[in-house]
Amino acid sequence: MTDFAMSSSGSPGTLNAGILRRREVLERFSATALTFPGLILILLVLLVPVLWLFWLSAFDGAGDLSWANYERMGKSIYVRTFTTTFRIAIIVTVCCAFLGYPVAYLMSQSGRRLSLVILLSVLLPFWTSVLVRTYAWLVLLQRTGLINGWLQDLGLIDTPLALVHNELGTIIGMIHVMLPFMILPLYASMKAVDPSLMLAASNCGATPAQAFRQVFFPQTITGLSSGAGLIFVLCLGFFVTPVLLGGGRTYMWAMQIADNISLYGNWGAASALGVVLVVATALVLLAVQFVLRRAGGTK
């Protein structure tokens, strides 16, 4: 912008330079001002509410400053929620990585038509409401549901399996929700791999497996870690699917926050849980940033 202004107005001189400077400042300010409406909205509807909760978490029931809300986290019910949440988040992330990698790989390595078909099959669930998909899994997995019905018709089982209203159902539903978040960044990073590098590796005598492991895979770590980080963070705070598929027995972090408010009206406890959730989320995101930077540095 500045370069253009300098080059287009011919005559130099202090007066002109002063005008140009003023124009530049004005232009910079107008560019900045364009972000103000959005910033104000985020300030009012995100930062103020969340920071207010942080503030609340530092007070006990009597309104005194205390650590009571954080000390409570040592209780066994809280510890159980934490371990359940982390266990589910890890399982879902790892499953998404193993299921998503081959899909993204084939999508990036095949012709136009096949990769479009795969892409559409990833985008359909991506765009479909989480509620609709969770409902579908409920219909599929419940005791009188389709999968149990088919298995019984085939004579494989006598009594229906407990596939839903437990941790298994929650994990299946969450993998379905999260998988596109793994496949799409992986696909982007695989598409960026120069195919002639694989040819070069094979010319240098690498077997296909070696070429994949030593040349292809390291270049997809950026996609893998951003997908995994995003999924892990989303899992930590996930609410809808565990409530509907967990049947009350699979108790995750977000449910504990919600119940502290809707059942007990305990804002301090809910806020403290929220603070810990935000800190955990931030740490995971920082770890991902670290991996991304290192992967970027080795290139």
Restricting to residues 262-291, name those near another protein by CB under 8 A: 267, 270-271, 274, 277-278, 281, 285
Distance CA 118, CA 113 (A): 9
Site for another protein contains 258 (CB under 8 A): yes
By beta-carbon proximity to another protein, the closer residue of 14 and 269 is 269
Residue closer to another protein, measured from CB, 14 or 140: 140
Q: Which of 34/65 has CB closer to another protein?
A: 34
Structure tokens, 186: 């992986």
* The only residue of 6, 19, 25, 31 in contact with another protein, by rule CB under 8 A: 31
Half-sphere exposure of 248 (CA within 13 A, CB side): 0
- How many CA atoms lie within 13 Å of 266's alpha carbon, on the beta-carbon side? 17
Residue 65: φ, ψ to 5°: -65, 125
Q: Which of 24, 237, 259, 292 is close enough to bind another protein by CB under 8 A?
A: 237
Q: Rule CB under 8 A: say whether 45 interacts with another protein.
A: yes
Which residues in the 69-88 window bind another protein by CB under 8 A? none
33 binds another protein (CB under 8 A): yes
Give the residue from 141, 158, 81, 104 showing the smallest Cα distance to 72.
Answer: 81
Q: Strand, coil or helix: what is 59?
A: strand
CB of 256 to another protein, least distance (A): 10
8 Å CB contact between 243 and 203: no
Footprint of another protein on residues 92-111 (CB under 8 A)? 99-100, 102-103, 105-106, 109-110
